[in-house]
């Protein structure tokens, strides 16, 4: 393994541990690593963005695709926002971005996210030979109604609507619980990736051993020295 690659892995290990030091408390090491991560991310995105501008716009423009001058001028107009006199010009590219984005998103929303979902809520056949899928069909059809009733405040709150709304609330809680569980799974997997890197990737594992040894020595010192305990407390 080349020295540069090994050095990169060691830096990665040190930065990972610096980030995890936040678990103890907010500290300068964490803040350095945090700002470095944000800075690198922005730097990378900026470089890629510039590369994209050249690949998609400036290079074809140089090759004679003259129409590309329009998006280039529009994008340059975004920078007029920095002076008070020319600020109004920045509204044009923004309007085009928002208009195009909204128009495109609206194009298929009705079918993709409303009609298809409604049709899926009324499965056919509703009652099947399989008990579990019949129960599933009932849940899919009934629960959205209960949740809608909970959120509809336009009619008075009677005993029935209150009861049905309560079913809606419980259903939502089940849904949020499932989402939370999946979120934990995602975070756990990311933690796994880091722990595996720290324990098995050479030479990151040596950095980990050094840090763990330092923590053990400090813990022993903490318990043996009344002065250290007093300072922490």
Partner 1 sequence: MKEFHVRIVAVALLFICIGIPIIYPFGLPISVSKETLDVYNYVESLNAGDIIYMTTDTGFSQIPEVGPPIVAFITHCFRNDIRIVHFCLSTEGGLVLNFLMPSVETSGKTYGVDWVELGYFSGEETALASLAISIKDMVSVDFYGNNLEDLPLMEDVDGAKDISLFVGVAGALTGGYIRQIGDPFDLMIIVLARAANAPALYPYVNAGQVKITVGVRGGAEYEMLINRPGEGLATTDVISIGHLLVVGGIIFGNSIFLYERVNKKRRGEL
Q: Which residues bind partner 1 (CB under 8 A)?
A: 23-25, 44-45, 48-49, 52, 55-56, 59-60, 100-101, 104-105, 107-109, 111-113, 116-117, 119-120, 140, 175, 178-179, 182-196, 199-200, 233
C-beta of 27 vs 100, nearer to partner 1: 100
To partner 1, the closest distance from the beta carbon of 42 in angstroms equals 10
C-beta of 83 vs 182, nearer to partner 1: 182
To partner 1, the closest distance from the beta carbon of 11 in angstroms equals 15
Distance, CA of 164 to CA of 224 (rounded, Å): 62
Please enumerate, as own/partner, the contacts of 156-164 that have beta carbons within 8 Å and a separation of 24 or more.
none
- Find out whether 197 and 204 touch, Cβ atoms under 8 Å: yes
To partner 1, the closest distance from the beta carbon of 152 in angstroms equals 20
Distance, CA of 76 to CA of 171 (rounded, Å): 50
For 67, which DSSP code? G
To partner 1, the closest distance from the beta carbon of 153 in angstroms equals 24
C-beta of 83 vs 139, nearer to partner 1: 139
Instruction: Kindly report the number of other CB atoms within 10 A of residue 160's CB atom.
Output: 9
C-beta of 19 vs 167, nearer to partner 1: 19
**What's the token pair of residue 233?**
């407390």
3-state secondary structure of 171: helix
C-beta of 158 vs 181, nearer to partner 1: 181
To partner 1, the closest distance from the beta carbon of 112 in angstroms equals 4
């Amino acid at each position: 393994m080349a020295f540069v690659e090994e050095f990169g892995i060691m830096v990665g290990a040190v930065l990972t541990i610096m980030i995890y030091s936040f678990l103890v408390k907010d500290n300068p090491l964490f803040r350095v690593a945090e700002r470095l991560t944000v800075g690198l991310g922005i730097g990378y995105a900026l470089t890629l963005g510039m590369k994209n501008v050249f690949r998609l716009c400036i290079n074809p423009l140089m090759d004679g695709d003259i129409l590309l001058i329009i998006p280039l001028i529009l994008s340059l107009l975004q920078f007029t926002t920095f002076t008070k006199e020319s600020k109004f010009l920045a509204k044009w590219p923004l309007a085009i971005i928002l208009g195009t984005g909204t128009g495109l998103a609206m194009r298929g929303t009705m079918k993709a996210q409303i009609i298809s979902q409604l049709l899926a809520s009324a499965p056919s056949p509703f009652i099947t030979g399989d008990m579990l899928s019949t129960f599933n069909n009932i849940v899919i059809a009934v629960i959205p109604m209960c949740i809608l009733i909970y959120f509809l405040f336009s009619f008075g709150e009677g005993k029935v609507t209150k009861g049905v709304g309560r079913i809606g609330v419980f259903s939502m809680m089940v849904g949020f619980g499932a989402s939370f569980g999946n979120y934990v799974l995602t975070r756990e997997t990311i933690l796994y990736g880091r722990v595996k890197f720290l324990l098995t990737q050479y030479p990151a594992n040596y950095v980990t051993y050094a840090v763990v040894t330092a923590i053990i020595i400090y813990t022993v010192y903490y318990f043996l020295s009344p002065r250290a305990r007093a300072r922490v407390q």
